[in-house]
Amino acid sequence: MDYRQAGVDIDAGNEAVRRIKALARSTFTPGVLSEIGLFGGLFRLDAAAWPEPVLVASADGVGTKLKVAFRAGRHDTVGEDLVNHCVNDILVQGARPLFFLDYIATGRLSPDVVAQVVTGLARGCRENGCALLGGETAEMPGFYADGEYDLAGFIVGAVDRSRVVTGHGIRPGDALVGVPSSGLHTNGYSLARRIVFDVAGLDVDSVVEELGGTIGEALLAPHRSYLRLIEPLLSDDLLLGLAHITGGGLTDNLPRIFPAGTAARIDRAAWDVPRLFRFLQRIGDVPADDMYRTFNMGIGLVAVVRPGHVDRVLGRLREAGEGSARVIGEIVEGGGSVAYV
């Protein structure tokens, strides 16, 4: 018996790496000092850009959104989801992305599928000015079902120590500015899939008129990156705190940036909840509190700003192309909770 008979195809792995190299090279920035295929990726930090540089790192996955990609046979968006999610996670601390690493694990390696996934990774990296520095593609027979894979990502960014966004200056009376999401992003898919595929009996190509297309298209809408919108505001020191609204929704993510003695009051009528969330709530008969703790409900990022800076922040967001951002609540005294009115 040889390795191929045991389920691992080294030639397929080499072919996948060959395809990945060109995609990764398209993302390289001046800081990259290595090629894909070495044991480690080399990146030179431009110390002149940050007088006192602080590195910010994060890791995440796409979660069960991958199950929708498997059903749809579409793999070119989940990589972009992953990059944008990770970019947002370090952005809320004021960091700009430097480089990204990926991990793809599968039972039987398909170079075509891997190339599609990396196409999305590379697209996300290019759009965020982030180098795809390296990664790992693991073939693990017997560990994953045929046609399935897992995907994780690791990002490193930098911010000058004097500009780290900590939330420490947040105080009662500050405004919460909500920036729209582009859909479910990468959270809540275990519940969404149960509602759509099990309760409603739909498939990815089922057309839902109120959503204006197929349910698969709605569920696979890429996770939005907020870097280009928020970067100018960071430069002007207009933001006291930022929260990326991921798993846990507004209910659990906002308190992560609150200093002691503060809480939030959110007006649910301040924005129009997108149709996809209303569809899921109605079909699944999901209680409102569960919706706001599972999904982003149309708000993918929240910025905390002084009341006197609200008009300026909203104006800058409009200039950047985001005219739907709005005040959705305020900071109040409390013990770190989120109350809805």
Residue numbers of the domain that contains 243: 175-340
Co-location of 187 and 323 in the same domain: yes
Q: Which residue has the tokens 């040889």?
A: 2
In a domain, 170, yes or no: no
One domain for residues 130 and 260: no
Q: Are residues 180 and 324 in the same domain?
A: yes
User: Any idea what the CATH number is for the domain that residue 315 is in?
Assistant: 3.90.650.10
Q: Are residues 135 and 242 in the same domain?
A: no
Q: How high is the pLDDT of residue 309?
A: 96
Asked if residue 279 and residue 207 are part of one domain, the reply reads yes
Residue 143 sits in the same domain as residue 261: no
Neighbour-count burial of 47, counting CB atoms closer than 10 A to its CB (0-12 exposed, 13-18 middle, 19+ buried): exposed
What's the number of domains the chain is made of?
2
Query: What's the Cα-to-Cα distance from 153 to each of 103, 150, 187, 203, 269, rounded to whole Å?
Result: 6, 10, 15, 28, 35
- The secondary structure of residue 224, as a DSSP letter, is P
Point out which residues pair with 131 in neighbouring strands.
Answer: 99
Q: Is residue 3 part of a domain?
A: no
Same domain flag for 156 and 210: no
Q: Let me know: does 237 contact 160? Beta carbons within 8 Å.
A: no
- Same domain for 135 and 179, yes or no, is no
Asked whether residue 2 is domain-assigned, the answer is: no
Q: Is 5 contained in some domain?
A: no
CB-facing half-sphere around the CA of 147: CA atoms within 13 A: 8
Is 168 within a domain? Answer: no
DSSP annotation string for 17-45: HHHHHHHHHTT--TTB---TTSSS--B--
- For residues 183 and 134, state if they share a domain: no
DSSP code for 194: I
CATH number of the domain that 106 lies in?
3.30.1330.10
Token pair of 88 as six digits = 């947002």
Query: Which of 95, 130, 163 is where one domain is finished?
Result: 163
**What's the burial of 138, exposed, middle or buried (CB within 10 Å: 0-12/13-18/19+)?**
middle
- Residue where a domain stops, chosen among 137, 163, 189: 163
Nearest Cα to 80, choosing from 30, 35, 130? 130
The answer to whether position 4 is within a domain reads: no
What is the model's pTM?
0.95
Is 305 in the same domain as 187? yes
pLDDT at 36: 86
| 230 and 300 belong to one structural domain | yes
Which element (helix H / strand E) includes 16?
helix 10-25
Both 193 and 279 in one domain: the answer is yes
Domain boundary among 163, 188, 205: 163
Number of H helices, E strands in the chain: 11, 12
CB 76 within 8 A of CB 119: yes
CB neighbours of residue 103 within 10 Å: 16
pLDDT in tens, the chain (341 residues): 666 666 666 777 778 788 889 999 999 999 999 988 889 999 999 988 888 999 999 999 999 999 999 999 999 999 999 999 999 999 999 999 999 999 999 999 899 999 999 999 999 999 999 999 999 999 999 899 989 999 999 999 999 999 999 999 999 999 999 999 999 999 999 999 999 999 999 999 999 999 999 999 999 999 999 999 999 999 888 999 999 999 999 999 999 999 999 999 999 999 999 999 999 999 999 999 999 999 999 999 999 999 999 999 999 999 999 999 999 999 999 999 999 99
Kindly state whether residue 18 falls inside one of the protein's structural domains. Answer: yes
Whether 110 is in a domain gets the answer yes
Question: How far apart are the C-alpha atoms of 257 and 300, rounded to whole Å?
Answer: 15
